[in-house]
Amino acid sequence: MLGYIVKRLGSLLATLLVASIIIFVVIEIVPGDPASFMLGLNAQADTVVALRTELGLDVSKPQRYISWVSGMLQGDFGQSYTYRSPVADMIGDRLWISLPLALYALGLSTLIAFPAGIWAASKRGRATDSIVMGFTQLGVAIPNFWFALILVLFFSIKLAWFSAGGFAGWEQGFFAAMKSLTLPAIALALPQAAILTRVMRSSLLDVMGEDYMRTARAKGLTERQALVHHALRNALIPVLTIIGLQFSFLIAGAIIIENVFFLPGLGRLVFQGIAQRDLIVVESVVMLLVFAVVLVTFLVDIAYAWVDPRLRQGRRR
Amino acid sequence: MSGKSDSMLSLDEVSLSIHGTPILHKVSFQLAQGGTLGVIGESGSGKSMTALSIMQLLPRGSVLTGSIRFAGQELTGLGESDLCKLRGSDIGMVFQEPMTALNPVKSIGSQVSESVRLHRDVGRREADIVAMKTLARAGLPNEQFPLSRFPHELSGGQRQRVVIAIAIACKPKLLIADEPTTALDVTTQKGILDLLKQLQHEEGLGLMLITHDLAVISSMADDIVVINKGRIVEQGHMASVFNSPEKDYTRQLFAASALTQVRRDNSAHLVKPDTKPLLVVKNLVCEYSTGSRKLFAAPRYFRAIDDASFTIHEGESMGLVGESGCGKSTLARALLGLMPLHSGSIELGGESVSSMQQVSRAARKLMQIVFQDPYGSFNPRHKVERLVGEPLHVLDEKLGAAERSRRVAQVLTSVGMCSEDRDKYIHEFSGGQRQRIAIARSLIIKPGIIILDEAVSALDVCVRAQVLELLDELAKEQGLAYLFISHDLGVVQRVTDKVMVMRNGKVLEHGLTATVFAAPVHDYTKALIAASPVLTL
Amino acid sequence: MKWQTIVPGAILVSIVIVAALGSFLWTPYDVADLDIRNKMQTSSALHWLGTDHLGRDIFSMLMVGARTSIAVALVAVGIGMGVGVPLGLLAAARPYSWSDELIMRGNDLVFAFPALLIAILITAVFGRGSANAIIAIGIFNIPVFARLTRGAALSVWTREFILAARVAGKGAFRISYEHVLPNITNLLIVQSTIQFSLGILAEAGLAYVGLGAQPPIPSWGRMLAESQTLISLAPHLALYPGLAIVFTVLGLNLLGDGLRDWLDPRMRRER
């Protein structure tokens, strides 16, 4: 088991390393001179020079890369050019919005998808199954930001149960904050729940056709007992994969959703950074988001080994 | 046969249809207390469905009529919860595929004790103790096989023992075994069959043994039921059905199993002095790397073929026997240049070659191969003409389309198919027909040697006999030599002139078939021959 | 079951394609026509789906917007398949070799960047527009097809008819083309409909945040963005473009599901 974890950790670090290099190259090198890029075409020569020194652009590229990475490892994400404040602080504030939102959405979607998928699989071929499948087809086709708009139209404007946007702030208390995250989380969770339901259902159906289910029934287990004690755990394995993969879509979705609800999260930060040509901010936030995705993949891999003992010895499948 | 009143299990006019398709028709037979009933039939005969009907574990859309009585109780019409009480505790079942019969994410101990906890009102600890005892009785001692083992850590035979342990944990009265050893090696098979016999003896278990292998039944069963296309053809005591079968189908089945049609005369075979050696293999070694255990250690190597040497002459049929993993298929691939050679040489038609590339070019003009799986050995997307004509790629001269078509037609007729078949797709043919087409494919470039890699192992007994007859005729007509690879000693004994026994990559024994089988020298050969079920009474 | 999905799916998709192609020939109104006096009207005989805040006819905008969505998604799938499938075949032909490892690591790397992030990176540096949206979505499609192809091809390589081809002396390249590819085509077809529908969603998302097609090219996503501030006054502005997206994606998914059911049992019958 340890060997497996070490291998996966190595893979994680390697991916992060290469990703950071790519981000660095794209942001700092491709546009030519970052300083003039940031200041735009009409900048005066001396401003550009001043900025170059400030950004430390006079040292070589590999050196800049190393100081960037080592800075990040120590928690120093540089200074935002536009706001003149440490990027780390800005990220810190925003993180406490984006992260809970993502987790909230993940929790909601799993809470809906698991029972729905199991139910549909157990009633395969019958009306319930078709209805659930119909809903998931619809759920997958609905863009989450459009669903968000519809939710706002209904629940904020027509019914006034929720505010149409903005974040209450954690100082107002846990529930107030979560309330302002509820509509966004639901909007995010919908397509995820639809996908997960389908995966859960098809994974269960695959498992139910396996030979060991026949052995279980021959032992005297009822269909339900066999499903719960034997099928579920095996069915979880592909579902875990999908959750891991979907996480990156979740992050992408969260960025967009924040736009709909005017939530001051990481997504807004990135867009503002682009609009203001503040490369340092963009660089750091993108790196952070990639890190989140890779971390989740790693955790999913670990969860695999916990669920499936065949992987613990690190054998080649 | 015992009368209905004292039989433990009796089926009376049981008919089954699934989604309207009739599967079983008025099947009736009995099994006495503590007796062994053998059910024999070919694939698709309905024998497995009979077993599932008893357990009432039929797929959706099944309609079952007739009566199934077990220990005085009528099973048809019984509610699901009552059936669940019977399954696993009064009736146990063992299935065919041990590799997939166990839940891979649960330990073997939990799977056995689950059976106990389901039917007996005991706590976890007690159930575990019973599980340990049962596993030990099934031949898996606790020191080597603790309850915490997982299925993937066990071999096929060991997994089957776990399945048997699960089935007998609650001391059932009846054990139904559906092809329990078909997927296992000969020696492993003997172990499992011995275990079943022993359990029967000790517990007074009734055993219903379903198989297509007549030799297995002849060694295990008191009574026999012959089933074909969902109907019982014949039934009775083993001895009487065997010695005087009444129905044609039964006769046909027995004859095919005994391979009485095969006319190869291997008793008088001697290598005539002027017969050319076609293939001479000297000290062949093939290895492949299995990756490194530790991060920085050198990769380990596995010797798939360890110093093999043999010769095949023109017109000779050489058998190659061994259990799975012994290297026989690897040898076939090495001969065809599909595996790199580590050391040693292969002489083909006089030319000596020692690297994989050289081997492949020389080999393919001289040797062709017929594979085991009649379903997997053809690309489902190509027509038969293209499939059979594929080896023509090997020839130096490029042939036009008309010529190719002509040759394909010719070779198809020589294996008993029609020339029109070349325009069809492979899925339109049965298993036996596909193997004929596979043989046609191997003949098209007029090779000297055909390698038959378990080519008849996946076929039904009657079809197998026909294909072996065909091979016999072709050998006589065209002077073909064969390398006949098989795990089935009975077939090899009938069909080959010489034989080699392989184990762990080494050729342990070789010589004339008649000699080796009559007086084996090596212990392993002796064990193999002893373990093979023989068709006698 | 399969006809229940293929037929409606095909119908929906055809409607959208016809609308998109038809828009080259005719739309009820020109999308550049601004009719401020008649702005923000709901459905009427003159404007079937009403007008937006600048007086443009929504129905016409949807038709022209269909072009953008389809074009972007289609080219992106093309990029994904054109690069991904050969990579996957190459990886499967030499499994566990350095080229295979390289391709798989590359896949993992791209998967670490959500499509939106790739688009953000590209647009931050190279500017906004449809072309960059296509590149971003296309880049994300490559590992999807590469991974799928590699997995499916690997299982085809283990089948015995491949051995038969090798015995006939054919090399890996020829075998990949003659034997492997035809046997994974079904899978690829189904996956491309899925990726197509994902592409439509992705394009809409990018357009919504302003990273997709730029004005004056109409785009469903941007129509949604523009409708947001006016949503309480004119909800239909948000409704129709969204429904158009749902319509298209649903149609593609149904088609894909139906195709999968149709193509699979045929392969199973071949056993």
Segment B376-393, tens digit of pLDDT: 889 988 999 999 999 988
- Name every chain A residue with its beta carbon within 8 A of the beta carbon of B102: 212, 215
pLDDT tier at A100 (50, 70, 90 boundaries)?
A: confident
Q: How far is it, in rounded angstroms, from Cα A5 to Cα B147?
A: 26
Q: Across chain B, what does the average pLDDT equal?
A: 87
* Chain A from 234 to 253: CB within 8 A of any C CB: 245, 248-249, 251-253
How many residues are given for chain A? 317
Q: How far is it, in rounded angstroms, from Cα B23 to Cα B233?
A: 15
Pick the residue of B54, B91, B103 with the most A CBs within 10 A to test the interface with A by mutation. B103
A310 and chain B: CB distance < 8 Å anywhere? yes
Does B483 have pLDDT greater than 90? yes
What confidence score (pLDDT) does residue B294 get?
59
Choice among B173-177, B286-290, C109-113, C197-201 with the minimum mean pLDDT: B286-290
Size of interface A-C (CB pairs under 8 A): 120
* Chain C from 78 to 107: CB within 8 A of any A CB: 105
* Residues B101/B163, Cβ–Cβ less than 8 Å: yes
Q: Considering only alpha carbons, which residue of chain B is nearest residue A237?
A: B105
Question: What does DSSP say about strands B62-70 and B343-348: parallel, antiparallel, or unpaired?
Answer: unpaired
pLDDT tier at A111 (50, 70, 90 boundaries)?
A: very high
CA atoms within 13 A on the CB side of B236: 12
Which pLDDT tens digit goes with each residue over C156-208? 998 889 988 988 888 889 999 999 999 999 889 989 998 999 999 989 988 88
A221–chain C nearest CA distance, Å: 31
Average of per-residue pLDDT across B454-477: 89
What confidence score (pLDDT) does residue B262 get?
60
Structure tokens at A1: 């088991």
Does B114 have pLDDT greater than 90? yes
Inspect the interface and report whether the beta carbons of A15 and C108 lie closer than 8 Å: yes
- Name every chain B residue with its beta carbon within 8 A of the beta carbon of C182: 379, 381
A55–chain C nearest CA distance, Å: 18
Which pLDDT tens digit goes with each residue over B436-451? 999 999 999 899 899 9
C123 and chain A: CB distance < 8 Å anywhere? yes
pLDDT tier at A313 (50, 70, 90 boundaries)?
A: low
Q: Across chain A, what does the average pLDDT equal?
A: 83
pLDDT tier at A176 (50, 70, 90 boundaries)?
A: confident
Inspect the interface and report whether the beta carbons of B150 and A309 lie closer than 8 Å: yes
Which pLDDT tens digit goes with each residue over C77-128? 999 999 999 999 999 988 878 888 889 888 888 888 887 788 877 876 777 8
Instruction: Indicate if the alpha-carbon torsion angle B439, B314, B390, B397 is positive or negative.
Output: negative
A242–chain B nearest CA distance, Å: 19
**What single string gives the DSSP state of each residue in A82-141?**
TT-SBHHHHHHHHHHHHHHHHHHHHHHHHHHHHHHHHHHHHTTTSHHHHHHHHHHHHHHH
Pick the residue of A215, A234, A237 with the most B CBs within 10 A to test the interface with B by mutation. A215
For C201, which of A143, A294, A297 is closest by C-beta distance? A143
* Residues B230/B195, Cβ–Cβ less than 8 Å: no
Which pLDDT tens digit goes with each residue over B127-166? 999 999 999 999 999 888 999 999 988 988 999 999 999 9
Question: What does DSSP say about strands B206-211 and B36-40: parallel, antiparallel, or unpaired?
Answer: parallel
Pick the residue of C156, C160, C186, C271 with the most B CBs within 10 A to test the interface with B by mutation. C160
Which element (helix H / strand E) includes B477?
helix B461-478
Does B537 have pLDDT greater than 60? no
Inspect the interface and report whether the beta carbons of A309 and B95 lie closer than 8 Å: no
B86–chain A nearest CA distance, Å: 7
Does C2 have pLDDT greater than 80? no
Q: Considering only alpha carbons, which residue of chain A is nearest residue C206?
A: A256
Choice among A160-164, B189-193, C5-9 with the minimum mean pLDDT: A160-164
A219 and chain B: CB distance < 8 Å anywhere? yes
pLDDT tier at A266 (50, 70, 90 boundaries)?
A: confident
Higher per-residue pLDDT: B535 or B198: B198
Inspect the interface and report whether the beta carbons of B376 and C161 lie closer than 8 Å: yes
What confidence score (pLDDT) does residue A316 get?
39
A195–chain C nearest CA distance, Å: 12
Which pLDDT tens digit goes with each residue over A40-59? 766 677 777 777 777 777 77
B427 and chain C: CB distance < 8 Å anywhere? yes
Does B285 have pLDDT greater than 80? yes
- Name every chain C residue with its beta carbon within 8 A of the beta carbon of A279: 124
Per cent of chain B over pLDDT 90 is 39
Which pLDDT tens digit goes with each residue over C30-41? 777 777 777 777
- Name every chain A residue with its beta carbon within 8 A of the beta carbon of C246: 138, 141-143, 146
What confidence score (pLDDT) does residue C268 get?
42
What confidence score (pLDDT) does residue B278 get?
85
pLDDT tier at A1 (50, 70, 90 boundaries)?
A: confident
Q: Considering only alpha carbons, which residue of chain B is nearest residue C170?
A: B393
Does B4 have pLDDT greater than 60? no
Inspect the interface and report whether the beta carbons of C160 and B377 lie closer than 8 Å: yes
Does B408 have pLDDT greater than 50? yes
What confidence score (pLDDT) does residue B292 get?
57
Pick the residue of B93, B105, B116, B295 with the most A CBs within 10 A to test the interface with A by mutation. B105
Instruction: Locate all alpha helices (DSSP H) within B2-79, ordered by sequence.
Output: 47-55
Average of per-residue pLDDT across A162-183: 77
Structure tokens at B280: 């001479």
Q: Find residue B302's DSSP bridge partners.
A: B288
Q: How far is it, in rounded angstroms, from Cα B189 to Cα C163?
A: 30
- Tell me how crowded residue C118 is: count the other CB atoms within 10 A of its CB: 21
What confidence score (pLDDT) does residue B410 get?
92
pTM (global) more than 0.80? yes
Inspect the interface and report whether the beta carbons of C109 and A270 lie closer than 8 Å: no
Does A97 have pLDDT greater than 90? no
Q: Considering only alpha carbons, which residue of chain B is nearest residue A236?
A: B105
Inspect the interface and report whether the beta carbons of B95 and A229 lie closer than 8 Å: no
Inspect the interface and report whether the beta carbons of C120 and A137 lie closer than 8 Å: no
C224 and chain A: CB distance < 8 Å anywhere? yes
Average of per-residue pLDDT across A214-231: 90
Does B265 have pLDDT greater than 70? no
Does A317 have pLDDT greater than 60? no
Pick the residue of C13, C117, C246, C252 with the most A CBs within 10 A to test the interface with A by mutation. C117
Does B268 have pLDDT greater than 50? no
Inspect the interface and report whether the beta carbons of A308 and B104 lie closer than 8 Å: yes
Question: DSSP class of residue A79?
Answer: B
What confidence score (pLDDT) does residue C271 get?
30
Q: How far is it, in rounded angstroms, from Cα C153 to Cα C157?
A: 6
Per cent of chain C over pLDDT 70 is 96
Average of per-residue pLDDT across B332-339: 86
Q: Considering only alpha carbons, which residue of chain C is nearest residue B442?
A: C164
User: Which of B168, B184, B454, B492 is CA-nearest to residue B332?
Assistant: B454
Structure tokens at B380: 């489902």
Pick the residue of A203, A210, A214, A219 with the most B CBs within 10 A to test the interface with B by mutation. A219
What confidence score (pLDDT) does residue B279 get?
87
User: Which of A188, A180, A199 is CA-nearest to residue A136?
Assistant: A199
Pick the residue of C167, C178, C185, C269 with the most B CBs within 10 A to test the interface with B by mutation. C167
Size of interface A-B (CB pairs under 8 A): 71
Which element (helix H / strand E) includes B482?
strand B481-486
- Name every chain A residue with its beta carbon within 8 A of the beta carbon of B87: 217-220
Inspect the interface and report whether the beta carbons of B152 and A307 lie closer than 8 Å: no
- Name every chain C residue with its beta carbon within 8 A of the beta carbon of A15: 105, 108-109, 112
What confidence score (pLDDT) does residue B3 get?
47
Which pLDDT tens digit goes with each residue over C207-258? 888 888 888 888 899 888 888 888 878 888 888 899 999 999 999 998 888 8
Inspect the interface and report whether the beta carbons of A219 and B97 lie closer than 8 Å: no
End-to-end CA distance of chain B: 18
What confidence score (pLDDT) does residue B5 get?
52
* Residues C120/A259, Cβ–Cβ less than 8 Å: no
Q: C140: burial class by Cβ within 10 Å (0-12, 13-18, 19+)? A: buried
End-to-end CA distance of chain C: 22
Q: Considering only alpha carbons, which residue of chain C is nearest residue B395?
A: C168
- Over its C-alpha atoms, chain B yields an Rg (Å, rounded) of 26
Q: Considering only alpha carbons, which residue of chain B is nearest residue A307?
A: B105
The ipTM estimated for the assembled molecules is: 0.84
What confidence score (pLDDT) does residue B273 get?
57
Inspect the interface and report whether the beta carbons of C165 and B390 lie closer than 8 Å: yes
For B371, which of C160, C182, C271 is closest by C-beta distance? C160
User: Which of B104, B79, B271, B68 is CA-nearest to residue B176?
Assistant: B68
Average of per-residue pLDDT across B102-106: 91
A120–chain B nearest CA distance, Å: 17
